Every structure is written in structure tokens, then in C-alpha cells.
Structure 1
Amino acid sequence: MPLRVHVDVVSAEEQIFSGEAEFAVFPGEAGELGIFPRHAPLLTRVRPGAVRLKMPDRDEFELVYVSGGLLEVQPTLITLLADTAIRAKDLDEAEAIKARQRAEEAQRNRTVDVGYASAEAELAQSIAQLHTARKNRKTR
């Protein structure tokens, strides 16, 4: 029997995923983090992007969009406390495109640095949602 690790992905609103995975990939601040069972303990922040979970006995990955949060890794347990988490199958690609356009427009029409920083964060999140939705569409 292959090694597995328990993964929990939760947001303030709900638990998005709880189950066993053969390995998982998270969007870390410095790049993607590939986590296998028995990984050394780790605590880090994640950026907006797709969480990819390799499920036992399935070829395709389970995809979850996260807008950021904290990742805790223990040898047999991975916990992601996400600011926002949405299953890839529940993402609306058209809405993500509109959000990206609104964020780009806000960047062009900035009046203060705070507005620019907010628009930049919204742009990063909408692009990550769009990429996650497109990855999900390709794997189905």
C-alpha cells in the first residue's frame, strides 16, 4: 500500500477538502511546494493559486483555488488555513475574467498607493482563479 498523507483545506466559511492524498502541491510564496507523506514539519504562507492533490487510485488531480493563507505540514497531516478556498469545479471562469478586467482598470486609474496595492492583490487573485479554472477544464 502506498504511503498517504491526510490533507485538510479549510477557509473561514467552510471545510473545502478533508481526505487522503498520495502527495500535494501548494502555491508557496517562493514557488510551488510539493509535499509527500513523511515530509519534515513546515509552516509557511501561501499565495493565490491552485492546490493540486493527487488522490489515491485516480490519474487526475483534485484542484482547489486558494487566495492565500497558512500551510502547516506534519509528517502525516497537512493543514491549509486559506483566506478563501473554492473547489476548481465551482469556479466561474467568466467571472474571473471580469474580475481581472476590473482589477486592471483599477490599476490604470489609481489615485493613491493603497488603491493600487488593493488592485494588484485583486488582479493576482483573479489571475490565479482563471488559471485554476482552466487547469480544471483541461483535466476533465
Structure 2
Amino acid sequence: MPLHLEVVTAERVVFSDDVDMVVATGLEGALGILPKHAPLMAVLDVGPLKYRKGNQEDEIAIGGGFMEVLNDRVTVLADTAERSEEIDIARAEEAQQRAQRLLAERPSAETRAAMDLALRRAQVRLKVARRRRRTGQPIP
């Protein structure tokens, strides 16, 4: 019995399909979800959301949000989310460099927090995109 995974942002449905397993990055660590998991509500941190379908795995870069697990259904309401094949590596590298440059300028605490978040999001996007290109696994 598979899980139905749905990842949505305010703008769009990023992913919706049946999968065998989900691993998300929660505020307190990794959360592994298999079929028949107990109901759960969790706050997600910036990080990869991994899923397996058959013998193939893929990832979605998540920029924070919430996850609900209920009745073999995993719903992720993400602040930002990009499938690995959607990520523009050059753009993510530029975002990373821009955040690093601004952090080096000793910004105010408020600006520093925003730049820290931007840097973490860029790093996750790069990690997810590069892993896909390295493995070359096509996932429908």
C-alpha cells in the first residue's frame, strides 16, 4: 500500500503521486514516513524532501513549511519547493554567492537572519540539483 505524497506551495502543486517512502527535514531532525505511519503534524526546516518510488529516489528542495501525515497521505505545505529537475544551478549559485557577500558585510540582525535563510535555501537547492545530475535518475 503506497503513500500519496502531495507537495504544494501558495503558487502551485509541485508534486502529487503515490510513493513508497518519504524522508523530510523537520526542525528537530529527519522524519521518515512509511505506509501506515501514525498521524503526524510537523514543522519542516529548509532541506531536501526525499521520496522513493519503486527502486528510484528523488528529492525536492523545501524552503520550510509544514507536513501532515494522515491515512497514508503525506501533505507538505511548503514556503518554497522545487523539484530537482527544475533547479537552475547557475541561478542557485548566484543566490548563494549573493547571500555570502551580504553576510560578509556585517548586516543588521534582521538582515542577517534573512541572508542566513537565503544562503541555506540556495545550498539545499544546489545539493538537490547536483545529486540528481550525479545519479542521473529520471523520476516521472
TM-score under structure 2 normalisation?
Answer: 0.92
Instruction: Say whether residues 1:65 and 2:61 are aligned partners.
Output: yes
Q: Distance in 2 between matches of 1:81 and 1:135?
A: 23
Q: Distance in 2 between matches of 1:22 and 1:99?
A: 33
Shift of 1:32: 1.5
Q: 1:83 aligns with which of 79, 83, 97?
A: 79
- Kindly, what percent of the aligned residue pairs are identical? 33
Question: Unmatched 5+ residue regions in structure 1?
Answer: none
3-state SS of paired residue (2:121): helix
Q: Distance in 2 between matches of 1:129 and 1:106?
A: 19
The aligned residue for residue 88 of structure 2 is 92
The amino acid that maps onto 2:65 is G
Q: Distance in 2 between matches of 1:12 and 1:73?
A: 19
What are the residue-to-residue correspondences of 1:11-22 with 2, within 5 Å? 11-22=9-20
Q: Distance in 2 between matches of 1:46 and 1:89?
A: 21
What are the residue-to-residue correspondences of 1:1-140 with 2, within 5 Å? 3-56=1-54, 59-140=55-136
Shift of 1:75: 3.3
The amino acid that maps onto 1:101 is Q
CA offsets, 1:73-106, max 9 Å, x none? 1131110000111111010111111111111111
Report if the CA contact (8 A) 1:60-1:139 is conserved: no
Q: Distance in 1 between matches of 2:98 and 2:82?
A: 20
3-state SS of paired residue (1:40): coil
Q: Distance in 2 between matches of 1:121 and 1:28?
A: 15
The amino acid that maps onto 1:26 is A
CA-based RMSD: 1.1
| Matched length | 136
The structure whose residues are more often strand, as a share, is: 2
3-state SS of paired residue (1:128): helix
The amino acid that maps onto 1:10 is V
The amino acid that maps onto 2:26 is G
Moved over 6 A (4+): none
Question: Unmatched 5+ residue regions in structure 2?
Answer: none
Q: Distance in 2 between matches of 1:130 and 1:98?
A: 11
